[in-house]
Amino acid sequence: MEDNKSNSFLRRIQILTMVKKKEELYSTSDLLRMIKKLGFSVSLRTVERDLEFCSKAPFLKLRFKKEEGIKDHLWYYEDDAELFNNPEISNISALAFNLVEKFLKTKLPLSAQNILNPFFKLAQNKLKSIEGKTDYKWSEKFHIQPRGQRLLPAEVKSEVLQMVFESVWKEKQFQAMYRRKWEKEAVERVVNPLGLVFQEEVIYLVCTFWKYDKKTDILRLPLHRFETATPLETERIIPKDFDLDEYIAEGHLDILEKKEPIKLKLLLSEGAASHLYETKMSDDQKLIEQKNKQVILEATVAYTSELRWWLLSLGEYVEVLEPKELREEFGRIVKSMASKYD
């Protein structure tokens, strides 16, 4: 089964909650049976890999031993393990769970929240106890701030969110009523879920419909436009060699104006260019400083709607030099904008 990063994280968290101290040992097979009851479709080898991965984290203090007559490893926590089996939690672990909660709470289905809620609560109590004893306010020290204008999250039906997550995990098709952006009526579709992507305040499902199996058939659909989602037992159809990370890296989450990358050349003010020295637009980016406190940028980038929005946000501090069609497009946009203020 092809693994999914968010699925792996939640599965490992759930497995870690099942392991006990030495007095109550569980074998890998025991943990496999327990995790399957929660709806995770995995093999014994996958659970073994999860446990081996977690055991390499020193702070977890997860250990195993072998006993005669038992084929599997027997798993347990050391007596002084601080997490998952102990009401105590370290300051840094509490902070980490607190930040995870802030970012993911509105983006996870109820079943996933139920897995993580005990840790979120434990983290909250730990941070409150620290703040109660000292003047140190953790909540004033860390914050997650998206760039650009903050928008409220699009509302996704809880039952839809739950069903889509499960279908992604189990790699099964589901039947849905989906409404396109400018249409009033929803249309029935059979969906092949390929992955979920969290982009700012919107959750996108990367998928295909029906029996379409080519990469050119792949869609990215906002979850809030799904009115219903009903599970099916049929295996999803996946395009050959599909990889979610590669799909995202190719710029498909943005609206591509051109399939091929473009050679972008900009004239930027020194201030507008300053952050590009540390956060590059591409691997081949060049910044050429000019005498008049301006900087020329050259980079190979995807020609997307996001690029257009970013350039517009720079306003008077950027001039598009190349490619020619992008320069002409921005000339028209600027003239149109100026006419509205005459």
Question: Per-residue pLDDT tens for 154-198?
Answer: 788 888 888 888 888 788 999 999 998 888 899 999 999 998 888
Token pair, residue 201, equals 């305040």
Kind plus residue range of the DSSP H or E element containing 181: none
For residue 74, give the nearest of 39, 122, 28, 16 by alpha carbon. Answer: 28
Order of strands across the sheet that contains 62-65: 26-27, 74-77, 62-65
pLDDT at 267 over 90: yes
The reported pLDDT for the residue numbered 321 is 95
Rounded to an integer, what distance in angstroms lies between the CA atom of residue 86 and that of residue 212?
A: 49
Q: Cβ(194)–Cβ(242) under 8 Å?
A: yes
pTM of the predicted structure, to 2 decimals:
0.56
The DSSP H or E segment spanning 284 is none
- DSSP state at residue 153: P
How many Å separate Cα 278 from the centre of its chain?
A: 23
Question: Where is pLDDT greater, at 255 or 44?
Answer: 44
pLDDT at 53 over 90: no
290 confidence band (pLDDT: 50, 70, 90): very high
- Band the pLDDT of 144: cuts 50, 70, 90: low
Per-residue pLDDT tens over the stretch 199-208: 777 888 999 9
| Whole-Å CA distances, 162 to 51, 174, 190 | 26, 12, 17
Give the pLDDT of residue 196. Answer: 86
Residues making up the chain, counted from first to last: 342
Would you say 237 and 211 are in contact if contact means Cβ atoms under 8 Å apart?
yes
* pLDDT at residue 322, as a whole number: 93
> What pLDDT shows up at residue 68?
76
Which domains occur in the chain, in start order?
5-77 (1.10.10.10), 91-140 (no CATH), 158-249 (2.30.30), 262-339 (3.30.70)
- Return the higher-pLDDT residue of 338 and 134: 338
Whether 59 shows a pLDDT value over 80: the answer reads: no
pLDDT > 90? residue 106: no
Instruction: Say what percent of the chain tops pLDDT 70.
Output: 82
Place of tokens 């979850």: 223
Tokens 């995807």 sit on residue: 302
Q: Is 143 helix (H, G, I), strand (E, B) or coil?
A: coil
Assigned token pair, 251: 């710029």
